[in-house]
Structure formats: C-alpha cells, structure tokens
Amino acid sequence: MRKLFSVFSDRAFFWVNFTQFFDTFNNNFFRTALTSFVMFEMTGLTRETKSFVSAAAVGLLMLPAFLFSALAGELADKYAKNRFIQVLRWAQLAFVPAACLGFYWQNLPLLLTALLAMGTGGSMLSPAKYGILPEILPKENLLAANALMQAAVYLSILGGTILGGIIFSFSHAALYAVLCAAALAATAGSLRIPAQKPAAPEIAADWNFLRGAVRGAGFAWQTPSIRLCVLAISWFWLGGTVLLAQIPTFVTYVLKGNDAVFTFFIVLFSAGVGAGSLLCQILLGGRISGKYCVASLVLSSVFLADLTYLSLTPSAAPAAAGLGAFLSSFAGLRISFDLLAFAACGGVYVVPLTALLQVLARPKDRARVIAANNIVNALFMVAGSGLCAGALWLKQDSSAVFGVLAALNLPAAALLHVFLKRNLLCPRP
C-alpha cells in the first residue's frame, strides 16, 4: 500500500491520472445524460429510434478507438506526449458548448456530433497517457501506476454513468455546469503534466486513418511477446463486454429485478475491477509479472459457472424486484459475490499485462504499440458483442452466455500458462 500512495502522490503521475479521470468521467457522464434525454424528453421519437440512438451512443464512444488509435499512436510518438495530451484536451473542450446547446435546442444531430468528437478525443488520449508512464516513472513503479490508472478509469466510468442520470433528472443547469467543470478540470490537469521529449520525431504520421488502423494493428504483431500480451489483454475486454452486455438481461428476466438492482450490479462490477487492480500491486509487490494471470482466469470461470448455475436453477435465484429484497436472500448475496469476485479477478489479470506491454515495447514506438493494442481490444469487444447477438439470435438467455464464457476462459488460461512457462511474456531487462 505504501508503494500505491507513493506513486499516487508523484507530481507527474498525479496530473496524468487526474486528466484521464475527468476526461473519462465527462465522456460517460455526457453519454448517460444523452441517453436519458432521448429516452425521456424527446417524446416525438419512436421507440425504435430511441433504442437505436441508445445503442449508437455506446458505439460512438467505441468506434474512434478503432479508427483513430493508430494515428494517435503515431502523433504521440512523433511529438512530446504532454503537448499531445494538452492539444487533445483543448480540442475536446471546444465541443462542450456544442453539447450544452444540443441539450438546450433539443438538437439530436448536434448532440451525437459532440459525443463522437469527445469520444474521439478520449480514444486518442489512450496511447499518450499509457505511453507516458514509462517516461515519467521508474520501471519498479509501473505496476502501481497502472493499478491506480485502471482503478481510476472504472471509478470515473461508474461516477459518470450514475451521476449522468441523476443530475439530468435533477436540473439541466446542473448538467451544463458539470459538463463544463469536468472538461475544464481535465484540461487544467493536462497543463500541469511535466514536459517530455518526443520519442520518435522522425516518423511521418499517416492521416489516412483507415489505412493507418490496418497498418497500426501490425505493431501488435512485431514480436511474439507483444503479440501475446495484446491478445491476452484483449481477452479481458471481450469478457468484460460480454458480462456488461448481459447484466440488463440477467437482472430483468432472470432475477426479476428493478433499476436499483441493475445500478447495484454496475457499481459492483466497477468496484470489483478497481479493487482487483489495486490488489495486484499487493500480490506482486511491484514486480511486473504475469504470475497470477492464469489463476485469475481460472477463478473467473468458477464465479461465472456459479452465475450460470443460478441462472439455470429457478429455485436458486432470488425472486425479488427491489434491491433490499435481493440482498436479504442468500442467493442474492451469492450472486453479488460472484459478480464482484469475477470483476476483481479481471483487475488482477489485466493490470500486470498492461505494465508488461509498456516495458516490452521500444521507447520510440511505445505509443504506437499501445494504439495497436487498443485497435485489437476494440475488435475483441466487437466479437464479444457478436457473441451476445448470436445468443439472442439463437434465443439463448444470459445463462448460456455466462456458461460459454466460463468454458472459453479455461483453454485461454491453459494457453497463457504455456506462454508464461516458455517465458514468452518476459519484460525487457
């Protein structure tokens, strides 16, 4: 814990983490407020249109990760990463007034454009914010830094998602104030990041983002160790996408729960990943290693298997609509523990792999490697969404999806065990 506090208080890291926290918070706050606005205030839209916009709001935050990550990685390596982060934040800040006007005028195209612009800025920030960590911190502090970053990401997603719905229903003026305040905080934080030198000023950025995305993904394949690390990280995002996509169905149709139960599950998942991210620093003592990754995958299958059992056994699942009734039953507590433990295993699994990727990549193309990782992550998230869509097409419920994911985790853990035994995921000396 002492190491976590030491890294958290490091001036350079603090402002990088501060910037990414409010950037992620604002994007999710805006997305949730936009979804609430469309669902509850735009009465002239059909049910189908509202459902489409709700799904599109999520897609507009994910699509830029695939389209613009490669360009972001090139620019973050070509220019000083602190300057690149600052330029991104000023660009995103310019779209906040457009978002406020979109709410005020009830202009859906303007709102979606602002969401796409803010999502693009957030996606392009990723290669720089993770790529700058090895530049501002010694190697022995990277695991703690990634743990704190991962915990902050999920805390900001959780806070933005919950507050976006609450503040929207409370006051439009408060909504505008939070949007502006969070954007200003992120921009101000970026200005405090210490100056760095460009890692590869000689490279030429490819502004054809489609061609760049294809070529950029190739950075994930430059060495076997980086390739395996990227695939292992992407597996985490596939599993997380599947679980989060199934939570509404699981709560509504299996548990017969209400919106309070759904919100509680989102809180549990976010808190679990955050807790697991911090726990890995304690388990590994700051050493960058995949030592506990295999065990994390196996344990996550155990907890998913228990969720599958509860889904398939009506007598085991609590029949309660409210959160109080749900938590008053043993089955409700068991389900809550399964979800929390699954998420914590995810945190223990992904944080060391992220730190490994940073030290495996060469300094001159580290941001491009992280960008390639983001592209592959996005493809795996699409695959996870496809798995859920396939289950829906086959008329299978969340129990089948949980069971398939639990089963797939086991061969993935076996492969990772083989790779680790062969030292294919060893950090650079």
Domain 1-145+155-187 has CATH 3.65.10.10: no
* Two tokens, residue 361: 């990549």
> Does the pLDDT at position 424 exceed 90?
no
- The 10s digit of each residue's pLDDT in 9-57 is 899 999 999 999 999 999 989 988 887 787 777 766 676 666 666 666 6
CATH of domain 215-429: 1.20.1250.20
Is residue 418 pLDDT above 60, yes or no?
yes
Which segment of 93-107, 211-225, 330-344, 401-415 scores lowest on mean pLDDT? 211-225
d(CA 345, CA 279): 10
For 183-242, the pLDDT digits (tens) are: 999 999 999 999 999 998 988 887 776 777 777 677 777 788 888 899 999 999 898 888
H or E, element range at 15: helix 11-40
Least confident of 173-187, 282-296, 317-331, 341-355: 317-331
Instruction: Indicate if the alpha-carbon torsion angle 68, 73, 76, 79 is positive or negative.
Output: negative
Residue range 96-118, pLDDT digits in tens:
999 999 999 988 889 989 988 98
Q: What's the pLDDT score for residue 319?
A: 59
What are the boundaries of each domain within the chain? Answer: 1-145+155-187, 215-429
The pTM is what?
A: 0.85
Is residue 428 pLDDT above 60, yes or no? no
pLDDT tens by residue, 242-295:
887 788 778 777 777 777 887 788 889 889 999 999 998 888 888 888 889 999
pLDDT, position 350: 93
Longest dimension (CA), the chain: 65
| Calpha distance 328→324 (Å, rounded) | 6
Residue 322 — pLDDT band, cuts 50, 70, 90?
confident
Question: In terms of C-beta density within 10 A (0-12 exposed, 13-18 middle, 19 or more buried), how is residue 3 classed?
Answer: middle
Q: Quote the tokens at residue 398.
A: 């969340």
One fold for 1-145+155-187 and 215-429: yes
- What is the pLDDT at residue 61? 66
In degrees rounded to 5, what are phi and psi of residue 205?
-75, 140
Fill in the DSSP letter of residue 195: P
Residue 429 scores a pLDDT above 60: no
pLDDT computed for residue 375 by the predictor: 86
| 136: nearest Cα among 124, 120, 149 | 149
Query: Tell me: the pLDDT tens digits for 127-185?
Result: 999 999 999 999 889 999 999 999 999 899 889 988 887 887 778 899 999 999 999 99
- Answer yes or no: are the C-beta atoms of 157 and 270 closer than 8 Å: yes
| Confidence at residue 298, expressed as pLDDT on a 0 to 100 scale | 95
DSSP strands (E only) in 260-368: none
Which percentage of the chain shows pLDDT scores above 90?
A: 39
pLDDT of residue 408: 93
pLDDT at residue 122, rounded to an integer: 86
Residues ≥6 apart with Cβ < 8 Å to 198 = 77, 78, 79, 80
